[in-house]
Amino acid sequence: MSSKAKGKSILLWVVGFFVVLFLVYFLFANTIIKLVLESKLGESYGAEVNIAEFDHSLFPTTVTLKGIALTNPTKPTHNQVLVGEANADVALAPLLDDEVIVNELNLLDVQFDTERASTGEVYRVPERSLSFDEIKSKAQEAVPSVDELLERNPLKTTAAIENAKAAYETYGEGLKTD
């Protein structure tokens, strides 16, 4: 076999691999993401989470979820929350660092304490229901302050100001004498 034919064969295999990879992504990505989301959300929530439909696009990075049902752990025959549709615009770059930044979120047709078609699974039975004040205080503890956010993610403008000050200190005297 000549090197030209061998190179052509390798090229066909590489192109074929990427075509198959693209087809698998195109056909199964939404289903796989939906199953992983249901599993992980249920695991963290402590009860079954169902998502009727999931759709996403990469450019722009948007996510649409329809029929999000969160089982009420204290009353599994009902949903604690049922969201008819959720649309989110997600920042793509932070996803590569395992961070999710939602720029815009629209929740439509939100309902509370609706009856489920079938009893939902409960993975972790809560000890007791939290009061509104307890939920509010936990949320305030969980949500970082503006100062904490700025400390974690330094702004480029702050760094630019520091660089400008350093440059001024370095070259400022020479400019004044000229």
- Tell me the pLDDT tens digit for each residue of 50-88: 999 999 998 888 999 999 999 999 899 999 999 999 999
Same domain as 76, residue 14: yes
pLDDT value for 145? 78
Q: Give the domain range for residue 84.
A: 3-129
Give dist(CA 9, CA 20) in Å, integer: 16
Do residue 160 and residue 78 come from a single domain? no
Claim to verify: residue 57 and residue 16 sit in the same structural domain:
yes
Q: What is the mean pLDDT of residues 139-163?
A: 76
**125 and 150 share a domain?**
no
Residues 113 and 65 in one domain: yes
Specify the pTM. 0.64
The answer on 172 and 94 residing in a single domain is no
Domain total in the chain: 2
14 and 91 assigned to the same domain: yes
Mean pLDDT computed over every residue of the chain:
86
Predicted pLDDT at 141: 78
- Which is more confident, 172 or 34? 34
Sequence-distant (≥ 6) Cβ neighbours of residue 90 within 8 angstroms = 61, 62, 63, 100, 101, 102, 103
Q: Is residue 148 part of a domain?
A: yes
Position 135 in a domain: no
